[in-house]
Structure 1
Amino acid sequence: MRTLLGAAGLALMAFGGLLLWGRSTHWDVLIWLAGAVVLHDGVIAPLVLAAGLLLGGLKKRGLLRGALLSMGCLTLIALPLLLRPLPTANSSVLPLNYVRGLLVSLAVVAVVAVLTGVARWGRSTLNSRHQKRS
């Protein structure tokens, strides 16, 4: 199954490359892909590794990792609109303040993570007290 999926992926990539090569924008795409590799290997991967090293000593780090992963995904989704907002002919197409929206979304994830952590801590404290009485 893995070989079949890999072959299908390679075939689709080759087909996409053939479609792209006939257009005049193929150099722009190659530059964009090279930039994506540099961004990933030079910025994103070191940040993830540093976060992993910092979180490695924590006992219950799953909740924090989940919150950081969610925040990273939210940031990556909003990044294109934050870095290069496109002008539109219709002002109602993208009327929102995306910086504020991203910050509110990140705050919601942080609050939910803290509340979940507090609830888990409270539940474990109650369970340990209940077990000591028994």
Structure 2
Amino acid sequence: MSTTNVLRYGAGALGLGLIGLGAWLVAVEPDPAGVLAWLVGALVLHDGILAPLVLAAGLLLVGRPQRGLLRGTLVVAGSVVLVTLPLLVRPGEPPNPSALPLPYARNLAIVLGAVAVAAGALHLVRRWRARPQRRTAEDD
């Protein structure tokens, strides 16, 4: 058996084991219906919203320079928003006062700003490296 097949079957066995562990953890959960509802919501959110948005952004960016950087920036920003969104839209007070001790809306804006600044800085570095070097009289 080749190394590739050993790794493939090992990864498959590990995946099946983790699926079994997940199913067992859902079964022993006091509220398995709540966990399953959360999993269905995550699936709908990913396949119904995130994946089509990423595909649409990829189609809109075809042929543009630095499209990989733009797509990466949009994926990171979208993922940060999706992780933070449940904390922002949850109605009422949290059951645990330490669950939301910080201003998540402000912090989300700061993180999105940092992502934009990092992407802009990377874009500028790439442009600077790609510019043609001018020869001076000293180089001759």
Tell me which interval the TM-score lies in, with the shorter structure as reference length. 0.7 to 0.9
Label 1:29 to 1:110 Cα distance change in 2 as closer, same or farther (>3 A).
same
**Structure 2 match to 1:74:** 80
**Structure 2 match to 1:86:** 94
- Residue 3 (1) aligns with residue 9 (2): yes
C-alpha displacement of 1:88: 3.0
Could you tell me which runs of 5 or more consecutive residues in structure 1 were left unpaired when the two chains were aligned.
Answer: none
Per-residue CA distance 1:32-68 (angstroms, 9 max, x = gap)? 2222222222111110110110111213222222222
Cα distance in 1, alignment partners of residues 109 and 83 from structure 2 = 13
- Residue 112 (1) aligns with residue 113 (2): no
- Residue 96 (1) aligns with residue 108 (2): no
| SS of alignment partner, residue 130 of structure 1 | coil
| SS of alignment partner, residue 101 of structure 2 | coil
Amino acid of the residue matched to residue 16 of structure 2? L
| SS of alignment partner, residue 134 of structure 2 | helix
Label 1:18 to 1:118 Cα distance change in 2 as closer, same or farther (>3 A).
closer
Label 1:22 to 1:107 Cα distance change in 2 as closer, same or farther (>3 A).
closer
Cα distance in 1, alignment partners of residues 100 and 37 from structure 2 = 28
C-alpha displacement of 1:111: 1.7
**Structure 2 match to 1:130:** 134
Normalised TM-score (structure 1): 0.78
Label 1:104 to 1:15 Cα distance change in 2 as closer, same or farther (>3 A).
closer
Contact preservation (8 Å) 2:61, 2:67: yes
**Structure 1 match to 2:4:** none
C-alpha displacement of 1:106: 0.6
C-alpha displacement of 1:98: 0.7
- Residue 29 (1) aligns with residue 50 (2): no
Normalised TM-score (structure 2): 0.75
Equivalent pairs: percent with the same residue? Answer: 46
Cα distance in 2, alignment partners of residues 95 and 70 from structure 1 = 24
C-alpha displacement of 1:101: 0.6
- Residue 42 (1) aligns with residue 48 (2): yes
Count residues with an aligned counterpart.
129
